[in-house]
Amino acid sequence: MKMRLLLISNSTNYGEDYLEWPRQYIKDFLNKTGIKRVLFVPYAGVALSDEGVEASYEAYEERVNGVFNELGFEVYSIHREKDPVQSVKDALAIIVGGGNTFHLVYMLHKLRLMKVIKEMVENGLPFIGWSAGANVACPTMRTTNDMPIIEPKSLNCLNLVHFQINPHYIDATLEGHGGETREQRLEEFLVINNNIYVAGLREGTLLSIEGDKIELMGKKPMRLFKDGSSPKEFPPGKDISFLM
241 labelled catalytic: no
The answer to whether 131 is a known catalytic residue is: yes
The question of whether 230 is a catalytic residue gets the answer no
Q: Which of 9, 77, 87, 131 is catalytic?
A: 131
SS3 sequence, the chain?
CCCEEEEECCCCCCCCCCCCCCHHHHHHHHHCCCCCEEEEECCCCCCCCCCCHHHHHHHHHHHHHHHHHHHCCEEEEHHHCCCHHHHHHHCCCEEECCCCHHHHHHHHHHCCCHHHHHHHHHCCCCEEEECHHHHCCCCECCCCCCCCCCCCCCCECCCCCCCEEEEEECCCCCCCCCCCCHHHHHHHHHHHCCCCCEEEEECCEEEEEECCEEEEEECCCEEEEECCEEEEEECCCCECHHHC
- The values of phi and psi at residue 171, to 5°, are -100, -10
Sign of CA dihedral 220, 222, 223, 229: negative
Look at residues 75, 202, 193, 209 and name the one whose alpha carbon lies nearest to residue 145: 202
> Which one of 49, 109, 168, 227 is the catalytic residue?
168
Q: How far is CA 212 from CA 57, 118, 208, in A?
A: 33, 16, 11
Given the residues 9, 11, 146, 208, the one annotated as active site: 146
State the catalytic residues: 131, 146, 168
